Chains A and B, each alone.
Chain A
Amino acid sequence: MMNLRDTETTDASKYRLIGRSVLSYRFIAPHSETLYIGDIKKIVDKTKGSTFFAKITDLSHDSNFADPRWDTRAYAEKFYGLGEDVFITVDAVPLGFVDSDGKFHKARTIPSKFSTVEDPDAEDFRFLTEQMGEIEVGLMRSGQDVIKDVPVRIPARVLPQHMGVFATTGMGKSNFMKTFCASCMKEQKFGLLIVDPHGEYVSGGKSSTGEPTKGLVHYTNGRDGLAIFTIRGEADRKKYAMNRLNLEYDDFRLSDLSILYELTSAQYDIIEAFSRVNGSDAIRFFQEVDPEIFPVKDPLAAGIKEGSLAWMIRNSMAGPVRVIQRHIDNLVNGNRAFFREQGSSVLEIIKDLHANRVVLIDIPDMGERSELFVLSVITRMIMEKHRSEARGFGIDEKQESSHQVLITIEEAQRVLAAGGASTQMFRECAMEGRKFGVGLCVITQQPKNVDAKVLAQINTFVVMGLGDRGDREIIMGSAKQDLSKMEIEIQTLDRGEAIISTIGIPFPVSTRIHRYEDYIAMLNAELKKDIRQGLSTGF
């Protein structure tokens, strides 16, 4: 008897692995499916008992039709049976796999052909949760959604090995930094220095989109992890328990001028000559000296003693001395709010940093030059302190500093551009700082303008959307993990989203950064809850 057999009514061709190599996966999905770049999928390999994870990197329309122009003909009005023959081809990049023992490995093998492609849940990422660090910044993102039970926490131990935050304006950089600060205040694993010339970190202000924002002082229950040094008036200082910021003349070195001003070689010669001179002596000298006496042909006749400061630059021309004098005059007068002959907060600042606090230098309305001045002075003094500590170690003692400090540099391309000999101190910090427990948090919207050698030293990348292709290529080429397949995702990152690549987490993690205000509300509530739990409820 003849029979008529129904062909398969369910469509098994979708959501199964069809290619292609160890580093590149492919499967197809129904044409009507909503998928997003960055979606994470799990590939269940029942043959090997492993679960692979992959991130969608590209989506394209495809079909089984031999005619490549079937969909572009002018009379293509309607189509039968689109669901079977027309589909979305999904390209994905492997993240790694979990073996039958629950151990995570890098993707050095390939899943069996036709392994099923499924949506992972929080339980699938248990291995990742275990490997996450302490500094929470957001939740793991899969495409448009977040995986609620998988917080993204950057390991504190890798942060002093430099961190880069790369974002164009309006991508949520300030929100990220405040969230990062709040977690640092909570965990207190290392000291974090931030110089804020805009006064927005202390008590908030308005975001780039005009929304009111909160500041670090509003994280009340993490207040112990925060030290603020400010130039604000006494009333403000008392209200928020802030310290007065003071730098004294001896904190200053003439070489700090090279960061603040473009200097000629003649001016630079004077700086070199004064390299071992105390700041107060140098300032006093330039305040009193008459530049017109230079060059001094006969020092004895001019009453200049051998070994004096004037004698050290006796061959300089009057012009360069005059310029340096003017720069020092501007520096002293321009920073009168915190720069004085005696009385320095720097030791206190370093002490707070070594107590693993977030130290906020709040200098509202002081401008870019003041910001760099404060930053360069404190950075130099931290480096000197840590170097000095390292020199004190015996030959068999641990060479790493017990103190870990991360120094934040906003618009880092100003001081870390390629070939900038004048910013040697920051470059030294980038190249050698990790040996002394000093790391840089490099924040920039133009990574291509930052020295590639500096970028190569960075171990933690926080990428928050870069419109410029050159910037993206620099980042992809510098990160320790392969970001090359994630270019489309980087290009399409939304405000508040980031890709975090760090040596502590096994693969680059797409992250929805916590909204700072919501995050601190949660942290404050958590602590209050803890306090309530500690109280007796009975009489």
Chain B
Amino acid sequence: MKDEYSGAVKEAAGRIHATIPANLVEKFAKTCTIRPSDFIHCEPAPCGEVCAIDGSNVMLLESGSMALAVVRAAQTTFVDMERKRRSVTPMRFALIGPEEENQDFPVLYADCFGQPPGKTLSNEDITRAAGILRDTLEYWVAETMAKELGPGALLLRDGPLRVSHESHNPVLTRIALTCYDRDLGLAGISKRSAATWGGGHPLLPAVFGFAKTNKIKAPWWIKIDPAILDHTPHAQWQHGEMYVACLHERSKGPLKIELPKEIGNEAAEVMSRLAGCSADGRIPGYPYPLFDAHRTVVITEEITAQLKGDLLGQLADAGIDRQTYEILFGDYHDEFARY
């Protein structure tokens, strides 16, 4: 039994190791024909006006047939190092199930954009559905801010410039156009990336390792040729081009950054501004306004507990007794954890 367990652990570790072999950097350079000159050093520049947008979703209740999610989004705008404005959307409750199609999505979408979504949202994958609902609010905040920010501002989104639902595609298109028309910078920033090369090697560790091996001094950035990736992103929903950047010499790792396709030579300026707002001592290498947006929007455990309490009260008023509630949403794991 012990040998069986050890073998399973060893096999799992071995499979991970196979994706990041000891010669990862060497293999990356050879396979993808990456050269040190592909890395561009950028000097941190004053970041000026920067607006960061983030969203948060939490599953309040889950039963076999349905789930109740709560979502919200927020923006926080800095001018240089001081926050000038911060705002949040109201908490929105959305029931995922028991129908096949989500009933709250069209309402939320219409509330945000004044028209019904082009496509319905399936309730099949609860987590994905909650994410799409959250994205809806995030895109609405982004579009709103794209219209309000001063010319030259930088609009940051936590995540890629790629939609996960067809109905968001026209919204992100409008956002990109508004930014272009109003001379705003736009960037989607991700801490993680699913991108791989050479048959399953993760992209970010390879790029970071290459820079380290070749003593490339941070901050730096590199544009990623989609041809080196194992899977080409879905072009129809993709509004940005992929870059990898390390924005501070003390950064824990690189970020995947997506900039609009039309950006051209202005990429360098955006990267310098991003480096300029990524030197905060608490989280070096990560744009501080995004960190602040996250702190603003996050639905914490305390908030969740409060929401659950409010909800429970309303359910009781509606005539759903505790026992029925437990049958519907009770979690035996809570009971298990007591023993």
A residues in contact (CB < 8 Å) with B: 1-7, 9, 65, 67, 70-71, 73-81, 83-84
Contacts and interface: CB of A to CB of B under 8 A. Distances in A.
Contacts of B289: 80
B11 interface: no
Which size class do B's interface residues fall under? Answer: 20 to 34
B282 A67 contact: yes
A4 B75 contact: yes
A73 B75 contact: no
Interface in B232-266: 248-250
Contact of B81 (A65, A80, A84): A80
Interface in B98-150: 108, 111-112, 114, 137, 140-141, 144
B280 A80 contact: yes
5 contacts: A6-B85, A75-B249, A75-B281, A81-B81, A84-B83
Nearest to B137: A2
B296 interface: yes
Given A6-B87, A71-B281, 19 more contacts: A1-B114, A2-B89, A2-B111, A3-B89, A4-B87, A4-B88, A4-B89, A5-B89, A7-B86, A76-B281, A76-B282, A79-B81, A79-B280, A80-B81, A80-B82, A80-B292, A81-B78, A81-B82, A84-B83
A472 B90 CA distance: 57
Contact of A81 (B90, B141, B292): B292
A6 B280 contact: no
Given A4-B141, A70-B282, A75-B281, A80 B78 contact: yes
B279 interface: yes
Contact of B90 (A5, A71, A75, A83): A5
A1 to B, nearest CB: 6
A5 B82 contact: no
Contacts of A79: 81, 280-282
Contacts, number: 71
B301 to A, nearest CB: 13
Interface of B: 75, 78, 81-83, 85-90, 108, 111-112, 114, 137, 140-141, 144, 248-250, 277, 279-282, 284, 288-289, 292, 296
Contacts of A80: 78, 81-83, 277, 280, 288-289, 292
A77 B137 CA distance: 35
Nearest to B250: A75
A74 B75 CA distance: 30
A67 B283 CA distance: 11
A83 B280 contact: no
Contacts of B111: 1-2
Contacts of A4: 75, 87-89, 141, 144
A3 B90 contact: yes
Contacts of A81: 78, 81-83, 288, 292
B286 to A, nearest CB: 11
Contacts of A3: 89-90
A9 B137 CA distance: 22
A225 to B, nearest CB: 61
A75 B279 CA distance: 8
Centre residue among B83, B249, B282 by max chain A CB count within 10 A = B282
Contacts of A5: 87-90
Contact of B140 (A2, A65, A75, A83): A2
B281 A78 contact: yes
B188 to A, nearest CB: 20
Contacts of B250: 74-75
A135 B111 CA distance: 75
A70 B281 contact: yes
